[in-house]
Amino acid sequence: MAPGSVISKRRVAERIAPLMALVLVAAACGSAASSSPPASAPEASSVQPSAAATPAGPKDLILATTTSTQDSGLLDVLVPAFQQATGYVVKTVAVGSGQALKMGQDGNADVILVHSPAAEKTFMDAGWGIDRRLVMHNYFLIVGPKNDPAGIRGLTSAADAFKKIAAARSMFVSRGDGSGTETKELAIWKTAGITPTGNAWYLQSGQGMGPTLQIASEKVGYTLTDNATFLSNSSKLSLDVLVQGDPVLLNIYHVISVNPAKWPKVNIAGAKAFADYVTSPAGQELIGSFGSQFGQQLFIADAGKAESDVK
């Protein structure tokens, strides 16, 4: 596609239109469950690129990513810095990892930042993505009411915690959105030998991590969350961290460029620029220092490591 503002704007509009419909439906469904607005609406950063940084091709870049990177606030730091350094203008769509990967499969994104390793490998094996790179990790937590009616506080096994929650018939709020978080949650239920769906105590929010935490807080229930989103929102929640440290709760993020051989309209130069930036020393420093106001790292930068070394 030839560069030019009219063509570029038309390109983004054509690719974003079906996604906007998806987001509006999700927002309508979520408004009855929570007063917090869903964080999955596409948006562009307000920071303008520097005059010195001008891409040779199309400037618009569509990033599909998980809601945890947005609800934690990481994208508010990372995207403007990338734009300033490179001149690209990022249109962000924050959804579950499953939906982000589907966007790539459908050619509706240029680059993907997600945390669902098994689904990512399937995506890569099918040829939808190229250049999958390790970016960072953090950890999942099981959080719940301060009075902990299921008695899981301090357990070292996530599966044992889920067994006690089920036995107590305590409310558990699942994302239920095909996200990497839900994939992890369902794997833990499977290890525990429990099928939670269909039980009155099991609620599927169908929303991102921030709204799901809010629902769990309001319903006096438990949920599985990444630590970054929880700590970023903890002041607004009546929830405690009850279970952490089980190796199964490791949460790894990768960046993937959508394969231009499958979708020639993909902005592969922009996708590579984004992947290069988030794995560069500058990008990794931003990731590693993010969350200092909470007194701890919310994400651990991992570019250049072997995945087997991430713990």
Tokens of 274: 């984004």
Helical residues (DSSP H) of the chain, grouped into ranges: 5-31, 67-71, 74-86, 97-105, 117-125, 158-168, 180-192, 209-218, 227-233, 268-278, 281-289
pLDDT in tens, 294-307: 778 899 999 999 88
**pTM for the whole structure:** 0.81
Stronger pLDDT, 96 or 187, i.e. the higher one? 187
Asked which of 199, 215, 249 is the last residue of a domain, the reply is 249
What pLDDT score was predicted for residue 272? 98
Flag whether pLDDT at 50 surpasses 90. Answer: no
Residues in contact with 132: Cβ distance below 8 Å, sequence separation at least 6, in sequence order: 120, 124, 254, 255, 256
Parent domain of 124: 5-138+252-309
Collapsed DSSP state (helix, strand, coil) of residue 256:
strand
Dist. CA 79–CA 272, nearest whole Å: 14
What pLDDT band is residue 43 in, cutting at 50, 70 and 90?
Answer: very low
pLDDT in tens, 133-156: 999 999 999 999 999 999 999 999
pLDDT in tens, 3-42: 333 334 444 445 544 444 444 433 333 333 333 333 333 3
pLDDT in tens, 165-189: 999 999 999 999 999 999 999 999 9
Most confidently predicted of 38-42, 56-60, 239-243: 239-243
Dist. CA 153–CA 134, nearest whole Å: 32
**Does 11 share its domain with 130?**
yes
Give the mean model confidence (pLDDT) for residues 230-248: 95
Dist. CA 230–CA 234, nearest whole Å: 6
**Does 241 share its domain with 262?**
no
Flag whether pLDDT at 122 surpasses 50. Answer: yes
Collapsed DSSP state (helix, strand, coil) of residue 210:
helix
What pLDDT score was predicted for residue 98? 92
- Cβ atoms of 79 and 45 within 8 Å: the answer is yes
What pLDDT score was predicted for residue 15? 53
| CATH code for the domain in which residue 33 is found | 3.40.190.10
Dist. CA 89–CA 82, nearest whole Å: 9
Q: At what angle do helices 268-278 and 281-289 cross, to 10 degrees?
A: 60
**Does 121 share its domain with 257?**
yes
Segment (H or E) for 136: strand 129-144
**Does 132 share its domain with 147?**
no
**Does 36 share its domain with 52?**
yes
**Does 123 share its domain with 260?**
yes
Give the mean model confidence (pLDDT) for residues 47-62: 72
